[in-house]
Every structure is written in C-alpha cells, then in structure tokens.
Amino acid sequence: MPSRLKNSPPARGRPPGARSFDANVASAFGSIVREDRLAAGISQETLAHFADVERSYLGRIERGESQPTLFVVLKICSALGSDSGSVVSRVEDFMRRGNRSALSKSK
C-alpha cells in the first residue's frame, strides 16, 4: 500500500479501479432527493447549505452522477426533514419496481 508524504492531504474519492458505484441506485436516490426538495419548495443551494455539502455535489447526486456516502445520505435526509430509513425504503422500492412509482412519498 503506497504511503503518502508526511504533509500531504489524504486522497479523496474512490481509489482507482474501485467498482462500488451503482448507477441505478445513484439515479434512484437522486430522483427521490430532487422530488423531496421540490416538494419542500427549496432550492438546491438552500438544501446544500442545510446539509453542509457543496451545491455542485448535490446537483451531481440529484442527477445520479455521484453516489453519496452514508454520512452524506444522513445529512441530506436530515436537511430535508425526512426519515433516512423511509428514504432508503423508497430507493429499495424504486429498484424493485424499476419505475418511478416508488417516488411517491408514503407516510
């Protein structure tokens, strides 16, 4: 395992060759976040501020281009005032059904 220089910052992102990105999961989660954000009537910038993430990163998440870590998922759900478990359940429903019907919020 290569070591980093004493004063260099830690590497960010997935290591080269990592295969943990799943476009279907990323797209499902992003669609649900976007729907919830729009239903709450807030902008990407406002949600990003509340979740303490960059607006451009939130945009990539909503477009399904980035797959957030669990920590970021929890921060986004909290900023939306949503229960993270119910959001994850909606992502699972979306994946099972393979359609957008799971995007409807069920309480």
55-80: pLDDT as tens digits? 999 999 999 999 999 999 999 999 99
pLDDT band at 106 (very low <50, low <70, confident <90, very high): very low
Contacts of 53 (CB under 8 A, 6+ apart): 72, 75, 76
Once rounded to an integer, what is the mean pLDDT over residues 73-97?
94
For 5, list phi and psi in degrees, rounded to 5: -65, 155
Residue 102 confidence (pLDDT): 45
- At residue 101's C-alpha, the angle toward residues 100 and 103, to 5°, is 70
pLDDT higher for 91 or 103? 91
Judge whether 52 and 8 are in contact, CB under 8 Å: no
Task: Retrieve residue 100's tokens.
Answer: 């957008």
Say what the pLDDT of residue 75 is: 97
Task: Band the pLDDT of 12: cuts 50, 70, 90.
Answer: low
DSSP 3-state of 104: coil
Residue 85, pLDDT score: 95
pLDDT at residue 94 greater than cutoff 50: yes
DSSP 3-state assignment of 64? coil
Give the integer Cα–Cα distance in Å for 102 and 95. Answer: 9
What is the pLDDT averaged over residues 24-32?
A: 94
Other C-beta atoms lying within 10 Å of the C-beta of residue 94: 21
